Amino acid sequence: MAQSIDTLVIVGVTGDLSSRLLLPALGQLLTREKKRRLRLIGVGAEDWDDAKLSQILKTSFETSSAKGAAVTDLVKHATYMRADVTDLDDVQRVIDGITGTPAIYFALPPAITAACCALLEKTGLPDGTVLALEKPFGTDEKSAHALNEQLARLVPENRIFRVDHFLGKSTVLNVLGLRFANRVFEPLWNREHIEKIDIVFDEQLGLEGRARYYDHAGAMVDMIQSHLLQTLAFVTMEPPASLDEDDLRTAKAAALRATRVFGGDPAASSRRARYTAGKIGRRSLPAYKDEDGVDPSRHTETLAELTVEVRNWRWSGVPMTLRSGKALADKRSEIVITFRDAPEIPTGFHGKRPANVLRLGLGPDRMDLSVNVNGPGDPLALDPAVFTSEFGEGQLLAYGEVLSGVLDADPLLSIRGDAAEECWRIVDSVLKAWKDDVVPLQSYPAGSKGPATWAPLG
């Protein structure tokens, strides 16, 4: 593939996202693509220098066993710039220091990214610049719209990458293959045959020192507003004619446009909770409100659940529940499709007959399809059986897929501006109901399955 970007500027290179996810993925990508030559400019507020950046690069690259000519070349030529990117002179200095055609990756808190983009209108940008922005994209529908307008004044839409690394996860991409490259699922993929859809992303991780970001986001914005709604769009969209970025992203945006909170009632369709002190395995966690940097009066939720519906002929009335939380007993990440009961069972069959369920695991990547078959022994006794397939890992980490798109200026896996606004439109009324305290903030001990009164999903 033609290389269009030759300089990667990571703004916020001193942060958690950069060292833990972006840089290891970059190392993995360069290990596979030995001919790619990339100049890295790391920008951060910390008092680092080139040597410190190079040390961080080596440590991050070790975690993905990165090696080879492209990796060595990048480390050798990487430079660090200390800058406050909310300061015009500093931003000008960064822009002046860029050579070649850059991708500028904002690994920053969203408010800082927005402030920096406003300054870029004054400094201007090198020709062909690609801008990559992390989620959350704005803080509500209005601010996302304003940010879109601001970005449109900087570069064309196909050079704006609103990053969602879930779209780089191989099982999320597998939803497309499973649905659109087979005869067996798509004819059943509608309200006639599907009872409900659940997408669950439960983590054992707690706050992990990320209060500065997370305490302003919470589980709804951190996970549901972005990753889980994007995943749902892959599950519910109409078949695109091709996997071209225009066809795919148009189909995804149409699905999101049809998505509403279930029954139009933001309070009845959502729940929130926050963890108290507890133990996950042998690890003790303090209560969220006592974590460093947390402002308890913000009432930030660490577990959120939202039921939506997709208001079109295919999906009308099917509840789709998205749930994500931290400090839970078990790590569980899956898309669960529960089918309706068979319309009629011939008299004579007996035994267990649970609903057919298709589970798509997002890590480990796997698929389980449970069906009812004649069991062993008595030929008329029904017995559930599960067909399982381990998908194996994708060739690249999710962030590797994302970076590959950014560096090749291929926006297929990035979120288009209209879709980013739709995701906020879907959750804005829920966030308002929570702010107005219409939905109580419940609690659960760290290491539990969540509040005891919440029915399990899937």
Ligand X SMILES: NC(=O)C1=CN([C@@H]2O[C@H](COP(=O)(O)OP(=O)(O)OC[C@H]3O[C@@H](n4cnc5c(N)ncnc54)[C@H](OP(=O)(O)O)[C@@H]3O)[C@@H](O)[C@H]2O)C=CC1
Ligand Y SMILES: O=C1O[C@H](COP(=O)(O)O)[C@@H](O)[C@H](O)[C@H]1O
Catalytic residue numbers read 227
Asked if 326 interacts with ligand X (CB under 6 A), we say: no
Residue 203 near which of ligand Y, ligand X, none (CB within 5-8 Å, type-dependent): ligand Y
Span 181-220, contacts to ligand X by CB under 6 A: 210, 212-213
Residue 154 near which of ligand X, ligand Y, none (CB within 5-8 Å, type-dependent): none
Q: How far is the CB of 291 from ligand Y (least distance, A)?
A: 14
Separation of CA 78 from chain center = 28
Q: Which of 154, 152, 162, 39 is nearest to 101 (CA)?
A: 39
Nearer to ligand X, 71 or 107 (CB): 107
Nearer to ligand X, 178 or 294 (CB): 294
Calculate the alpha carbon distances from 390 to 184, 330, 450 in Å: 19, 20, 28
* Contact between 262 and 308 (Cβ < 8 Å): yes
For residue 410 the two structure tokens come to 């291929």
* Segment interacting with ligand X (CB under 6 A) among 39-47, 306-314, 356-364, 400-408: 39-47
Asked if 227 interacts with ligand X (CB under 6 A), we say: no
Asked if 101 interacts with ligand X (CB under 6 A), we say: no
Binding mask 106-135 for ligand X (x = CB under 6 A): -xxxx-x---------------------xx
Nearer to ligand X, 11 or 430 (CB): 11
* Contact between 172 and 234 (Cβ < 8 Å): yes
Of these, 85, 130, 199, 419, which contacts ligand X (CB under 6 A)?
85
Query: Residue 8: phi, psi to the nearest 5?
Result: -110, 120
**Strand, helix or coil at 398?**
helix
Of these, 1, 46, 59, 395, which contacts ligand X (CB under 6 A)?
46
Residue 276 near which of ligand X, ligand Y, none (CB within 5-8 Å, type-dependent): none
Q: Residue 307 and residue 325: Cα distance in Å, rounded?
A: 15
Binding site for ligand Y (CB under 6 A): 165, 203, 205, 222, 398
Per-residue HEC secondary structure of 335-361 comes to EEEEECCCCCCCECEEECCCCCEEEEE
Question: Binding residues for ligand X, how many (CB under 6 A)?
Answer: 23
Q: Residue 426 and residue 269: Cα distance in Å, rounded?
A: 12
Q: Is residue 42 within a helix (H) or strand (E), and if so which, with residue range? A: strand 39-44
* Contact between 260 and 426 (Cβ < 8 Å): yes
Q: How far is the CB of 262 from ligand X (least distance, A)?
A: 26
Contact set with ligand X (CB under 6 A)? 12, 14-17, 21, 44-46, 83-86, 107-110, 112, 134-135, 210, 212-213
